[in-house]
Structure 1
Amino acid sequence: MSVQNTIEQKLGSGFRVEFLQVENESHRHSVPPNSETHFKVTLVSGDFEGQGKVKRHQAIYRVLAEELAGEVHALALHLYTPEEWSAVGAAPASPNCMGGSKHDPALKG
């Protein structure tokens, strides 16, 4: 099973899902072709009612602990209650990859 499918399955069974989108954004980063290392997750669930962002993220990290300890390098999380989702309607677009710190002149010695 692909990493993306595993993430979808675990989140689907770990939360009361109203909307779930898992996007493999690895191709937008400096990784080999067909990598599954960078993901964007948009999840709408009533389970997030009364929780702040930190608690929501911690809940996701618990469910995806194995993937985060292994092949997943980056996980962008956009977590909403149904009410929040109806107000925003879409997750923000991901920024373009900047190529990592090797391109940051401030970090060059």
Structure 2
Amino acid sequence: MTAPVLNRVIPGPGPACKSNFTMFFYLAPSLTNPPEPTDKTVVITSLPEQKVFTRYFGGFAREADYVENAEVLGKALIRDSRDFDASFFYTAGYDSPFKILFRHNEVWYVAKTDAGEI
């Protein structure tokens, strides 16, 4: 299993609207020629280098846990006048489903490129 497994979450515009999820799996940079996907919905892409604001939490994370932690992080960034892209966030899971204790989960907001040094 690769780690972290990322999900980009674009929240739906209202309480009854579904969010958009895109899952990313890490491929080592040394893997210069990965196999071509056989499923048309799977693509190989690279994320740009970016700075992210992160909030960590433990346990077996559910969608509601990620949303709650993203809201806490977003409010803290606004309070501290941090410049970030609030239109989406990432979830990051680092553990195998078989790991029971000391699980590591994160939510990320991407810093805007003109935010300067953090």
TM above 0.5, yes or no, is: no
- Higher RCO by CA contacts (8 Å cutoff, separation 6 or greater): 2
Q: Comparing both structures, which one devotes a greater share of its residues to helix?
A: 1
